[in-house]
Structure 1
């Protein structure tokens, strides 16, 4: 098993060095996605690593401040290094500037709001506002959202030709997530034309049954979208006619965020 191979970074082998770095990032992602402290045994089991390898990685991360140890339980948690890195990313993404707009959109609609950024093959949630409703749909930061089956993803595809080409070129059928997912690239291309014409996108239970969403792109000065926002709600609160109500609200918020970002800012 690859996870049980010894780590010989001192040999100078670049492959092994890259493997160690990759494993360290895997440990940090585990702490990002799991709440609470974690023991070395749990980390090793979750990532398929042996205990000695896991101990070395954890000790190195503690030494650099990215993990810290609870001396009572001997379990580990994210340290100040991770906190400072997150704060720096928060500033670089200008989330402190856009957060009030997301809050206002959530207040006006009464629903959950997400902001996501474009990666190679998905939109990744970086900020969220949860609805106050007891029945709600939310996605935690770090959630990967499919481009072809989400309002956020389709807003990005409609206003980013390179992303659309990467997603659709040479593809005959798209991955089906629910019975309502559009799997035909021809149908999706037609929908993207409609999104460009009106400025906002929809997700009619295409990625999660029982959830309907409306999204809009955050565009730079050239009109290119590398980020998008979406309002998400249980489908029982979004009859067909509410799409037309939510669309302009989401579009207004997305345009406000675009105007607030510093010149040259890129997600």
Structure 2
């Protein structure tokens, strides 16, 4: 009986460890063990045991002063081959140059199922604030980034005014209603044969990213998207053709 139960127990532990790691998706937070347990939906004792194992493996780090956990350098090492496969090693200098020029964080997003997922961010050397950090996952049909990714799909709702606007203007815009409203902008990264390879996005406080700044930022974003589009051609399958987008 033990030989049957052990693999099940081991698999369950791996699943729970993944749940703990997923708690850090998004804004690079530092979390206490109780916050981790609440987010993961696990007992505190189980969460503490898993977090300690992840620290030993280098996937998490623990601040010695606060005992709070954060993503460890080991995950960056593991992610490096995937980032190289996506072409982001070559893309990154262009993104950092754009971020420095417009003084806003620049993000690259790809499609994952029905979401736009942020895979890379380039922060500016000055004028950074937390409002510039996008959600890790955004619904394709309800976000500027998603609209930029979907705009060139050949089959679309006839009355989809948001996507029509993206095709007409070359960018998508979204006002995120919060206590301090945020404006998000996104442009598609389009390769040969109108293949949508990703989306380039920025966001900032709407009071700062006003219509005047939008007019200055969007052309720079479109130029950068054009420059990095060829770098996505050798990434081994990250490009999505409009035929593939049709069913999303």
Same fold? TM cut 0.5: yes
| CA–CA distance in structure 2, aligned partners of residues 69 and 235 of structure 1 | 35
What TM-score, normalized by structure 1, do the two folds share?
A: 0.68
2:215 is aligned with 1:222: no
1:96 is matched with 89
1:156 is matched with 149
- Contact kept, 8 Å, 1:9 with 1:20, in 2: the verdict is no
Structure 1 pair 22/251, CA: closer, same or farther in 2 (3 Å)?
same
- Contact kept, 8 Å, 1:150 with 1:206, in 2: the verdict is no
2:211 is aligned with 1:240: yes
- Contact kept, 8 Å, 1:149 with 1:206, in 2: the verdict is no
- Contact kept, 8 Å, 1:9 with 1:17, in 2: the verdict is no
- Contact kept, 8 Å, 1:112 with 1:136, in 2: the verdict is no
- Return the match for 1:139 from 127, 133, 139: 133
1:111 aligned counterpart, secondary structure: coil
- Contact kept, 8 Å, 2:107 with 2:122, in 1: the verdict is yes
2:136 is aligned with 1:130: no
- Contact kept, 8 Å, 2:132 with 2:202, in 1: the verdict is no
1:180 is matched with none
2:89 is aligned with 1:118: no
Give the drift of 1:11: 1.6
1:14-29 alignment, distance < 5 Å: 19-29=12-22
Q: Which range moves more in the overlay, 97-106 or 48-57?
A: 48-57
| CA–CA distance in structure 2, aligned partners of residues 134 and 84 of structure 1 | 26
| CA–CA distance in structure 2, aligned partners of residues 214 and 260 of structure 1 | 22
- Kindly name which structure, 1 or 2, has the bigger radius of gyration based on alpha carbons: 1
| CA–CA distance in structure 2, aligned partners of residues 240 and 75 of structure 1 | 40
Give the drift of 1:155: 0.4
| CA–CA distance in structure 2, aligned partners of residues 34 and 196 of structure 1 | 33
What TM-score, normalized by structure 2, do the two folds share?
A: 0.72
1:152 aligned counterpart, secondary structure: helix
Give the drift of 1:98: 1.2
| CA–CA distance in structure 2, aligned partners of residues 29 and 247 of structure 1 | 32
| CA–CA distance in structure 2, aligned partners of residues 69 and 190 of structure 1 | 48
Give the drift of 1:157: 1.4
| CA–CA distance in structure 2, aligned partners of residues 212 and 84 of structure 1 | 33
* Structure 1 unaligned spans of 5+: 1-7, 169-184
Give the drift of 1:117: 1.7
Give the drift of 1:48: 2.8
1:49 aligned counterpart, secondary structure: coil
1:210 is matched with 181
Give the drift of 1:26: 1.1
Structure 1 pair 134/20, CA: closer, same or farther in 2 (3 Å)?
closer
- Please list the CA deviations of residues 96-123 of structure 1 after superposition, one character each: whole Å capped at 9, or x if unmatched: 2111111222233233322222222221
2:227 is aligned with 1:256: yes
- Contact kept, 8 Å, 2:87 with 2:231, in 1: the verdict is no
1:191-210 alignment, distance < 5 Å: 191-203=162-174, 205-206=175-176, 210=181
